[in-house]
Amino acid sequence: DTGVSQDPRHKITKRGQNVTFRCDPISEHNRLYWYRQTLGQGPEFLTYFQNEAQLEKSRLLSDRFSAERPKGSFSTLEIQRTEQGDSAMYLCASSNEGGRFFGPGTRLTVL
Amino acid sequence: QKEVEQNSGPLSVPEGAIASLNCTYSDRVSQSFFWYRQYSGKSPELIMSIYSNGDKEDGRFTAQLNKASQYVSLLIRDSQPSDSATYLCAVNIEETSGSRLTFGEGTQLTVNP
């Protein structure tokens, strides 16, 4: 499968715990994006990498959120001290120019 | 005003009919436009992109763009039950800091057999 992959697909955690998600983009894509989606809404932009450089972060991304793309390939998104409001689908997408291609997402449930 | 607005739906059409999905955007410098299909519980799937005024056809799908009116639409001809999904309109602006893609809230389409 040469599409975008994400791991894990589902994560259930207790409030206050830290979680980390991984995204492997399409190999020839230099841009990588993280989005968050809640029920009935379109995806909301969180952050964006061009190769290994994090070029933009949304105001939605509080200090509890951090993302890395250490070698310009895969990326991780960490949420520290999770809150119930963090429950959502976290989507990773990659592209060169043009439309983003999304991975299957990681569904996070914070109890 | 929301940056990207879609007709709220839900939209219901009979099998074989034309489904029309509409989207307006607020930022005049928007450069490229995309339609995504999202099945329940799945991630968005890119189905159409359009960059210049006019129509773009791909199989049963036609995207229409009117930059003067800040309007983009998606027509689905010969609608099938498998087309039942939420359709997301997305608008892109290339900036020096990168590329900003903004989504609408989506329109839920049901095609009835």
pLDDT digits (tens, 9 = 90+) for B41-100: 999 999 999 999 999 999 999 999 999 999 999 999 999 999 999 999 999 887 776 778
Output the CA–CA distances (angstroms, integers) from residue A78 to A4, A30, A42, A89, in the order listed: 18, 21, 22, 14
pLDDT less than 70: residues of chain A: 1-2
Q: How many CA atoms lie within 13 A of A38 on its CB side?
A: 5
Amino acid at B74: L
Q: Quick one: pLDDT at residue A2?
A: 67
**Alpha carbon separation from B113 to A76, B3, B6, B9 (Å, rounded):** 43, 35, 25, 19
Calpha distance A52→A56 (Å, rounded): 12
Distance of CA A4 to the CA centre of its chain: 12
Looking at per-residue pLDDT, the higher value among B110 and B28 belongs to B110
Q: Identify the contact set of chain A against chain B, taking CB-CB distances under 8 A.
A: 31, 33, 40-45, 48, 50, 55-56, 89, 91, 95, 97-105
Within an 8 Å CB–CB cutoff, is residue B102 touching chain A? yes
Q: Which residues pair with A32 in a beta bridge?
A: A49, A94
Question: Residue B29: what pLDDT?
Answer: 81
Query: Do the chains contact at B101 and A33, CB–CB below 8 Å?
Result: yes
